[in-house]
Amino acid sequence: MARNPSLIRAQPPMPSDLTSSDCSVLRGGASFRRRELIFVVNPRGANGTTGQQWKKLLPYLRSRLGNDCNICESLTSGPSHAIDITREAIREGADAVIAVGGDGTLHEVVNGFFCDGKPVCNHDMNSSHSTALGIIPLGTGSDFARTLGWKNDPHDAIERIAKGLKSKVDVGCIAGEIGESHYFINVADIHLSAKAGYYASRYKKFGNLCYVIGALQAFFRHHNQDLRIKVDEGEWEVCSQVTALCIGNAKYFGGGMKITPNANPSSGDYEMVILQDFKLYDFILKLHKLYNGTHLSVKNVSSRRARSIEIEEIGSSGSIFVQSDGEFLGFLPRKFSILPAVIELLC
Ligand SMILES: Nc1ncnc2c1ncn2[C@@H]1O[C@H](COP(=O)(O)OP(=O)(O)OP(=O)(O)O)[C@@H](O)[C@H]1O
């Protein structure tokens, strides 16, 4: 394991009588394979707090998991590095890749489960072994973890990893006009909210306040936009004066806004919520409803379920923002399809 030099074994060496190269341990006569866990840590997450918390957590992690698991830590050196680490770990046969950081780090780890439009596989093609996804939520927002009801408590997260229970989750796939497919596990969104996310990423030093600052900046010179959408390969429909269109595999975005309140990452479909013809004062008056997920009954808000959604702008500004899991992705047009039960999540 760990041909990749960026994977550093973060545990005491195995006792010298344990010689098996695949880390198998003989216990009471039965063969017991040590789990190979790769922790992908963004030291810059949450303005550097993730790195500091990780350093304090590591001794506890070793004492809690080190008897049964090989613990490898890999610190990311910059954007997209987590994708490469994850791909390499899966190819090498890791039992789990654990994203340590915020939703951006989780997003990159999820993208590392895929390459060239297909799930990444273990080098040993004959093996039925699969790599699970784990999460230690230590970011600014950690919105995906909210849907699962997880607190931002790393000790709880370590208990979930220790138990090793797995549940299959869906992943969203986004295809653009050119280039590789892109994947998301939480929420993808279009227009105002995506623009707000783009600006918010510049103000992460203010913690969760960055989302409010980003939204205010995005509203400046914002225009609602007519879009064309095609749901589940049906007919094209015109959707007028769209303020924001959100495609939820999970429920929360923007640091705790319950935007797609009926989304469920194990349902096999998305919840799509469209906000139309909203003005700044609508947001001010209805913001609390967006946060607690009661906005679906508000005028000009609609919700429907879908397995695939194609979206184009009517007009050719080429400036309708798209983001997924809070990461800026470019501009419309895009097609979103769901990959049901494609990843096993340690839960
Ligand atoms: N070493 C690094 N230096 C700078 N940026 C990095 C590094 N490693 C990863 N990143 C980038 O940092 C971004 C944000 O990280 P992360 O999501 O962990 O924290 P956050 O933004 O504080 O939390 P959240 O996304 O939940 O709001 C990631 O999208 C990733 O591309």
In a domain, 1, yes or no: no
Span from the CA of 54 to the centroid of ligand 1 (angstroms): 14
Instruction: State the ipTM, two decimals.
Output: 0.96
Q: What span, in angstroms and rounded, lies between the C-alpha atoms of 33 and 252? A: 37
Residue 8 pLDDT: 52
Closest-lying ligand 1 atom to the alpha carbon of residue 77: 1
Do 205 and 305 share a domain, yes or no?
A: yes
And the tokens for 10?
């973060």
In a domain, 12, yes or no: yes
State the pLDDT confidence band at 139, using cuts at 50, 70 and 90.
confident
Q: Of 164, 194, 221, which residue is a domain's last? A: 164
Do 155 and 201 share a domain, yes or no?
A: no
Ligand 1 pocket, residue 140 CB under 6 Å: yes
Span from the CA of 135 to the centroid of ligand 1 (angstroms): 14
103 in active site = yes
Given a cut of 60, whether residue 165 has pLDDT beyond it is yes
What CA dihedral angle connects 155, 161, 164 and 165, to 10 degrees? 70
In a domain, 2, yes or no: no
Ligand 1 pocket, residue 35 CB under 6 Å: no
Do 330 and 228 share a domain, yes or no?
A: yes
Do 53 and 202 share a domain, yes or no?
A: no
39, 42, 328: residue to mutate for ligand 1 pocket, most atoms within 8 A of CB: 42
Q: How many domains does the chain fold into?
A: 2
Do 210 and 151 share a domain, yes or no?
A: no
Do 49 and 123 share a domain, yes or no?
A: yes
In a domain, 175, yes or no: no
What's the count of helices (H) and strands (E) in the chain, helices before strands?
A: 8, 20
Ligand 1 pocket, residue 204 CB under 6 Å: yes
Domain encompassing residue 95:
8-164
**Omega within 30 of 0 (cis) for the link into 13:** no
47, 105, 110: residue to mutate for ligand 1 pocket, most atoms within 8 A of CB: 105
Length of the chain as a residue count: 347
Nearest partner of 197 among 295, 307, 107, judged by Cα: 107
Do 130 and 198 share a domain, yes or no?
A: no
Closest-lying ligand 1 atom to the alpha carbon of residue 137: 26
In a domain, 174, yes or no: no
Report the largest interatomic distance among the alpha carbons of the chain, rounded to a whole angstrom.
70
Q: Of 116, 138, 164, which residue is a domain's last? A: 164
Ligand 1 pocket, residue 141 CB under 6 Å: yes
Closest-lying ligand 1 atom to the alpha carbon of residue 80: 31
Residue labelled with tokens 């050196």: 77
Q: Of 164, 190, 217, which residue is a domain's last? A: 164
Ligand 1 pocket, residue 43 CB under 6 Å: yes
Q: How far is CA 183 from the centre of its chain?
A: 9
Closest-lying ligand 1 atom to the alpha carbon of residue 325: 25
Q: Residue 60: give its domain's CATH number.
A: 3.40.50.10330
State the pLDDT confidence band at 124, using cuts at 50, 70 and 90.
confident
First to last CA, the chain: 24
In a domain, 299, yes or no: yes
What DSSP character marks residue 287? Answer: H
39, 44, 143: residue to mutate for ligand 1 pocket, most atoms within 8 A of CB: 44
Do 42 and 111 share a domain, yes or no?
A: yes
* Residues whose CB falls within 8 Å of the CB of residue 281, separated by 6 or more in sequence, listed in order: none
Least confident of 207-211, 215-219, 250-254, 324-328: 207-211
Q: Where are the alpha helices (DSSP H) in 113-208?
A: 143-147, 154-163, 192-200
Ligand 1 pocket, residue 15 CB under 6 Å: no
Do 109 and 136 share a domain, yes or no?
A: yes
Strand 24-27 versus strand 327-331 pairing type: unpaired
> Angle at the Cα of 100 (from 95 to 103), degrees rounded to 5?
110
pTM: 0.90
> Which residue's CA lies nearest to atom 6 of ligand 1?
78
Residue 7 pLDDT: 54
Do 141 and 289 share a domain, yes or no?
A: no
The three-state secondary structure class of 145 is helix
Residues 246-270 as b/e (b if ≥16 CB within 10 A, e otherwise) read bbbbbbbbbbebbbbbebbbebebb
Do 211 and 246 share a domain, yes or no?
A: yes
Ligand 1 pocket, residue 76 CB under 6 Å: yes
Least confident of 16-20, 97-101, 179-183: 16-20
**Residue of 95, 103, 143, 170 with catalytic role:** 103
Span from the CA of 68 to the centroid of ligand 1 (angstroms): 30
Residue 31: how many CB atoms within 10 A of its CB?
10
Q: Residue 278: give its domain's CATH number.
A: 2.60.200.40
Segment 247-306, tens digit of pLDDT: 999 999 988 999 999 999 999 999 999 999 999 888 889 989 999 999 999 999 999 999
In a domain, 233, yes or no: yes
Do 195 and 160 share a domain, yes or no?
A: no
Given a cut of 90, whether residue 18 has pLDDT beyond it is no
For residue 164, give Cα distances in angstroms to 41, 103, 283: 20, 21, 42
Ligand 1 pocket, residue 142 CB under 6 Å: yes
Residue 250 pLDDT: 98
Nearest partner of 298 among 308, 306, 290, judged by Cα: 290
Residue that wins the pLDDT comparison between 127 and 180: 180
Ligand 1 pocket, residue 326 CB under 6 Å: yes
State the pLDDT confidence band at 14, using cuts at 50, 70 and 90.
very low
Segment 180-204, tens digit of pLDDT: 899 999 999 999 999 999 998 898 8
In a domain, 173, yes or no: no
